[in-house]
Structure 1
Amino acid sequence: MRRVPKRPSSALAERWTTVDGVDVFYRESPGPVGPAGPVGQAGPPGSPEPATRTMMHLHGFGLSGRYLLPTAELLRDEFHTLVPDLPGFGRSGRPAEPLDVPELAHAAARFLDDRGVESATLVGNSMGCPVICEFAYHHPERIERAVLVSPAGGIYNQPLRRAIRQLARDGSREPASMMRVAAPDYLRFGVPSTLRLFRALTRYPSLDRLLALRIPTLVVLGSRDPLMPGPARIREVARQSENHVLVVVIDGAAHAINFSNPGELANVIRQFMADKPIVDDPDAPGTARAYEIHRGSLHPPAVP
């Protein structure tokens, strides 16, 4: 049943739409926005609002978009921000058959169709990153940039028992408030759906799709993330492609960086979108520190 809570959980507007016959719950920047285009650039003649680039945030395995909100809310005034619960997840309805990674990517594209968005920058966490890579593979003209935060689903997370151990270790490294957000989502998603989707992720060519990206791509890793290999392996992978990839580490962060370190992550995303050097955010003091470990030769050069 479609319900918007009496007390919204977000500074974003909470809305419903229908995609392929499935009710989809999403959050969106409140107020009017201009058509898609560079930030600050004037819209078409007669347009009352400046044009704003669209940024869609895609959640991870078994979760809803709710845990992405701390970062998405910090960027809502700079980008036309969308945070959907993909079909089968969170408060959205369940399709007749569960969706695998390619089908989730197509559902994300059709959600943008529904919202009248031609192209967007996609920001994903964990499983959301393979969904973005698949979106870029099938819809390259519709993705401006990719932000892959703690990308998961590759061989490093196999078999299932290894992934479960990694998730258990990560749980002890996340803020306690993350479990209050995640637990209802996991319970709603259910064990059968978890097993089915994990099998789909093990068959997904994550590395091939990542290396096939031909757009500016930001990869953000947490130094305390047990689901990710170390920086040396990440550099090795990044160097295998004609490189459009910028790799950044946030020291002290675990897997759910969008939730636990929103200030640092939003700062890194802003710098990436403006082609600025990645420097730590002086307005987000604490144990976390952001720094580059790889800037590909084909990545847009940093503008001082």
Structure 2
Amino acid sequence: MIPLPSGLNIRIDRLRLQGAPVRTWTTWQDGMDRVPPAERRDVVLVHGIGVSSRYFGPLAAALGQRGVVHMIDLPGFGDVPHPDRRLDVEDFASVVAAWLRHVGLVRPTVVGHSMGAQVVTELAAKSPELAGHVVLVGPTTDPSARSVVRQGLRLARTSVHESRRTRHTIALDYVLSGPYWYAKVLPSMIAYRTEERIAQVPVPVLVVRGEHDAIAPREWVRQVAAAAPDGRWAEVAGAAHAVFADHAAEVAALVRAHQDR
């Protein structure tokens, strides 16, 4: 545990779940860890393909006023070691579910970005008792672009709207993860049917996109929200795919309003 000058604390844990390596970052404000879990608004953040929780830093700080924030680095991403087998979206969801049961969180708000939105969707569909609210940020994969080439082109279009800091953070994680693991996981991300599986999620769902997010177009986000039994969507002006990195306050406000429903 490292006390920070702002009163924010951080704990890093490394463990193996279902045979796969995982790293988690847990942050909280002084005194928050003494509040009973049922009285907090705890949040779990799940990153997208090729990256790690590093880009969640601004959002984690913004959400830390209400509860404990957990960021989970999935197997093989960032500098977390690669597992000894290929994992698909369903496997990653099982790993996150195993971690939630391991730490005993009480129905937290589970936030997933990009491929992480697929992981969170699968988690909440298969084990709805583990999540109180679901937030999907820039969800993949739009049926009109279910190919590696089209996803690559959309990534290039949206990247020009990200800040230099965000592009640098993402690029570093891509290097750490390596092209081999990215290529192993990518087919599962392309094939996963978020718009079908979200219909099996019984908890409240919020879908968020940035105005310039070419990976998650507006009509696709509307489709996902409409397919959820209790779904809504929102758009952040001026933002791109990693909307929370440069617009953390706006995204945090949306998450808090969603939690209060």
What TM-score do you get using the length of structure 2 for normalisation?
Answer: 0.89
Q: Is 1:167–1:227's contact at 8 Å kept on the other side of the alignment?
A: yes
Contact 1:218 1:272 in 2 (8 A): yes
Tell me which of 180, 184, 188 is aligned to 2:176.
Answer: 188
1:258 to 221, 228, 244: 244
The offset of 1:22, in angstroms, is 4.3
* 1:16 and 2:13 aligned: yes
Aligned partner letter, 2:234: V
Instruction: Supply the AA of the counterpart residue of 2:222.
Output: R
> What residue number does 1:25 align with?
23
Percent of aligned pairs with the same amino acid: 28
Q: Which amino acid aligns with 2:141?
A: G
Task: Say which SS state the counterpart of residue 43 (structure 2) adopts.
Answer: strand
- For 2:102 and 2:188, the matched residues in 1 are separated by 26
Aligned residue for 2:110, secondary structure, equals: strand
Q: Do the aligned partners of 2:210 and 2:236 also contact (CA within 8 Å) in 1?
A: yes
Q: 1:225 aligns with which of 205, 213, 216?
A: 213
CA distance in 2, matches of 1:196, 1:154: 20
Q: Which has the larger radius of gyration?
A: 1
- Give distance in 1, aligned partners of 2:133 and 2:109: 5
The 1-side partners of 2:91 and 2:223 are apart by 30
Gaps of 5+ in 1: 38-50, 276-304
One of 92, 95, 115 as aligned partner of 1:107? 95
Query: Shift of residue 267 of structure 1?
Result: 1.1
Is the 8 Å Cα contact of residues 125 and 258 (structure 1) preserved in structure 2?
A: no
Moved segments of 4+, more than 3 Å: 233-241
Alignment partner, residue 44 of structure 1:
none
- Provide Cα deviations, 1:95-151, integer angstroms capped at 9, x if missing partner: 211321011011111122232324321011111100011001211111111011111
Where 1:148 maps in the other structure, the secondary structure is: strand
Alignment RMSD (CA, Å): 2.3
Deviation at 1:205, TM superposition (A): 2.1
Structure 1: distance between partners of 2:167 and 2:223:
33
> Partner of 1:40 in structure 2?
none
Kept after mapping to 1: 8 A contact 2:195/2:223:
no
Deviations 1:67-94 (A, max 9, x none): 0111111111202210111121123232
| Greater mean deviation of Cα atoms: 197-206 or 139-148 | 197-206
**Aligned counterparts of 2:74 and 2:129: Cα–Cα separation in 1:** 21
Tell me the CA shift for residue 36 of structure 1: 2.8
**Residue 293 of structure 1 corresponds to which residue in structure 2?**
none
Corresponding residue for residue 47 of structure 1 = none
Deviations along 1:152-209, whole A, 9 cap, x unmatched? 1242432101111111111111000012211121012222222221111222221111
Measure how far apart 1:240 and its partner are: 4.6
1:23 deviates by 4.2
AA in 2 matched with 1:27: W
Gaps of at least 5 residues in structure 2 are: none
Tell me the amino acid that sits aligned with residue 29 of structure 1: T
Q: TM-score, normalised by structure 1?
A: 0.77
1:63 alignment counterpart = 51
What is the distance in 1 between the residues matched to 2:194 and 2:14?
A: 30
Report the AA paired with residue 108 of structure 1: V
Contact 1:24–1:91 (8 Å) recurs in 2 = no
